Amino acid sequence: MTAMSPGRRSLRRIRRRTGNSLLFVAIVAISVIAAFPLVWMLLSSLKTPAESMQTPPVWIPSTPSLTAYREVADVIDAARSFWNSAVIATVTTAGILVTSLMAGYAFAKYRFRGRDLLFAVLISTMFLPPIVVLIPLFRMVTYMGLDGHLFGVIVPYLANAFGIFLMRQFIAGVPDDLIDAARVDGASELRIVFSVVAPAVIPAIAALALFAFVYHWNTYLWPLTVLQGNTEDYPIVLSLGRLLSYNRGAMNTGLVMAGATLAVLPPLVLFVFLQRFFVDSIVSTGVKG
Amino acid sequence: MVSPAVALIGVFIFVPMVLTIWLSFHQWSTQTGFEAARFVGLRNYEDILGPISVGRDFKRAFLNTAIYTALSVVAILPLSVIFGLLVYQSRVAGGQFLRTILFSTYMVPMIAVALVWSKLYSPSEGPLNQILFWVGIGPQSWLSSPDTALYSIVILNVWQQVGYFTVLAIAGLTQIPSSLHEAARIDGANPVQEFFGVTLPLLRRTLLFSAVIAVINAVQVFEPVALITQGGPANSTNVLTFHIRRVGIERAQGGLGSAMAVMLMLSLIVVIVLIFSLARQKEERA
C-alpha cells in the first residue's frame, strides 16, 4: 500500500466525521421516536379537558394543570391502588428472592441424583405462557379460598424459574472455600445461604429484586382473573383499566393519561436509577446459557 | 434447599398444567369443582377445530395470534440488531442514552402502553394522523378498522419490546472477539461484508434466543385487546390469550378453554423446535 497523501488522509477524516454525525442524527431520531409516546402521555395529563378534545390535537398544554391528577385520586382511590401494587410487588419479590437463593445455591453447589434433570424441568417453565395454566390455576386458588384476595394474587408466584437460573449462574462463581470455611465454623446450610452466599452475590440479588418488582407491579392478567371485581384490592394497573370505562370517549383522555403517568412512574424511576443492574444481569445470563 | 421452590413451582405450574391437559378431555364448568368434570373424549378438540362458531372463533384467534407473533418477531429482531450496533459501535455521544430510552419502554406496564397508544391512534384528536398529515399522508383508521387494527397492536408491541432485545443484541455483540473484526478489515472487507461475514453469523445464538423469547412474549398479548378493542372490530384482534380467558373464565367453559390452551402449548413447542432446528441446519452448513 502506498503512503497516503495529506489530501487523502483529510478526506478520510471528513468522511469519518460525516459518518459519525450521521450516526448521531440517527441516534437522536430514534430516541425521539422511542420517547414520544411517554412524552405525549405526560403532556396530555397536563391538558385541560377542552384541549384534549381539540382537532387538530394540541401538542403543548397552554396552561398546564394538575386537575386530572386530583380527579384520578378520587375516581379510583389511587392511594389504595398504589398500596395494593406495592404489597403485591414487594411480598412476591421477597418470596422469589428467598426461594431462588436457596434453590440456586443447591443447584450450584450440591451434587445430588437427578439434579440436572430437575433443573432442566424447572427451567422449562420459563417458556410457559401464563394463559396455558390460567383456568385450572384460578379454580385451585378458589379451592384455597384465596380468590378475590391479595394473597391469591401473590401465593402462586413466590418462586420462579428465572430467579433460580439467575442465582445458580452467580452462586456458581462463589468460591467453595468460603462455604467450606463457614461449614467448619459450624454454620447451618440455611445460615450459609443467607449470611455467606447472599452477601457475595449482591448485584444478582439487586437485579432479580428489580426484575421481579417491576414484573409484578406491571402484571395484569392474573390479578384481573383472581380479584374478580373486588376493586378494593385492585393494584394500580387494574384501576387504570377501570378508569377507561369510567367515562368513555375523548372526555377522559386527561384522566387516563394522568393515571397512566402515575402507574408508569415507580418502575421507570427504579429502572433509570438502577439500570446498571438490569443490563448487567441480562448480559451475564441472557446469552451465555 | 430446593424444596420450597420445587413445591411452589410444582403446585402452581405443573399441577395446573396437567389439569389443563386433563380438563381438555372433559366437559367442565369453571364455576364447579374438578370432580364435576364429565369425560367427553376428543369432543372439545372436534369443536374448536370444527366448522361451528366455537371452531370459527378459535381458528380466527389462532390465525390472528400467529400473524401478530410472526410480524412482531420479524420487526423486532432486525431492529434490535440495528439499534444494538448503533449503541455498541458508535463512539458518538448518545449511544448509552439511546439504550436507556429504548429499554425504559420495556419497564412500563403494558396497560399504560395500551392506553397511551389508543389515544395516539385516535383518528381525529390523536397526534399520529396529525404527523401523517404533515408529511402528506391521509388519515389512517388504526384501531377502528378490521384491516389495520391488528397491525396497530403489532406496532405498539414492537415499540414496547424492542429495547429489551436491543440489550440482548448488545450483549451478543460484546462477545464477538474484536480480533475477528480486525482480521476481516485486514482482508479488505468493507463494513457491509464485515457485517454479513462476521457479525451476523456470530450473533446467531443471540438471535435464536431472542426469537424464542419474542415468540413467547408475543403470544401473551392481552391488555390492548382486553381494554381497547375487545377482540374487534369484527374479530380482527381476537388473540388467543384474550380468547382463552373469555371462553374459559368469563363464559366458564373450562373444558373448551383448556383444549384451546393445549393447542397453544403444542403449537409453541412446534415453533420453538422449528426455530432451533433451523438454526442447527444453518450451523451444519456453515
The more confidently predicted of residues A55 and A24 is A24
C-alpha separations of A8 from A2, A5, A15, A22, A288 in Å: 12, 5, 10, 21, 43
Residues A128 and A263 in one domain: yes
Judge whether A129 and B239 are in contact, CB under 8 Å.
no
Condensed to tens digits (0 to 9), the pLDDT of residues B115-151 reads 999 989 988 888 999 899 899 888 888 999 999 999 9
Span A97-116, average pLDDT: 95
Residue B253, SS3? strand
Strand partners, B38: B27
Domain count across chain B: 1
Residues A127 and A235 in one domain: yes
Phi then psi for A145, rounded to 5 degrees?
75, 20
Task: Express as a percent the part of chain A with pLDDT over 90.
Answer: 62
Condensed to tens digits (0 to 9), the pLDDT of residues A225-279 reads 999 889 899 999 999 888 877 655 556 788 889 999 999 999 999 888 887 777 7
C-alpha separations of B155 from A66, A177, B144 in Å: 30, 52, 15
Is residue A14 in some structural domain?
A: yes
Measure the CA–CA gap between A74 and A248, rounded to whole angstroms.
17
Chain B CB contacts of A25 under 8 Å are: none
Q: Is A67 exposed, middle or buried (0-12, 13-18, 19+ CB in 10 A)?
A: middle
Residue window 230-269, chain A: list those with CB within 8 Å of chain B: 237, 240-241, 244, 250, 253, 256-257, 259-260, 263-264, 267-268
Residues A17 and A111 in one domain: no
Residues A25 and A146 in one domain: no
Judge whether A244 and A47 are in contact, CB under 8 Å.
no
C-alpha cell recorded at residue B80: 434490535
The more confidently predicted of residues B257 and A244 is B257
Indicate yes or no: CB of A30 within 8 angstroms of CB of B248: no
State which residues form the domain around B21: 3-285
Q: In B110-127, which positions are buried (b, 16+ CB within 10 angstroms) versus exposed (e)?
A: bbbbbbbbbbbbbeebbb
Indicate yes or no: CB of A27 within 8 angstroms of CB of B97: yes
Residues A224 and A102 in one domain: yes
Measure the CA–CA gap between B249 and B31, rounded to whole angstroms.
9
Residue window 125-154, chain A: list those with CB within 8 Å of chain B: 125, 127-140, 143
Which chain B residue shows the shortest CA-CA distance from A194? B1
Residues A218 and A269 in one domain: yes
Residue B78, SS3? helix
pLDDT bucket at A2, cuts 50 / 70 / 90 = very low
Residues A89 and A27 in one domain: no
pLDDT score of A20 more than 80 = no
Residues A87 and A193 in one domain: yes
Strand partners, B27: B38
Q: Is ipTM over 0.85? A: yes
State which residues form the domain around A276: 75-285
Measure the CA–CA gap between A192 and A102, rounded to whole angstroms.
10
Chain A interface, best mutation among B18, B115, B159, B273, by max A CB count within 10 A: B115
Span B269-282, average pLDDT: 87
Is residue A61 in some structural domain?
A: no
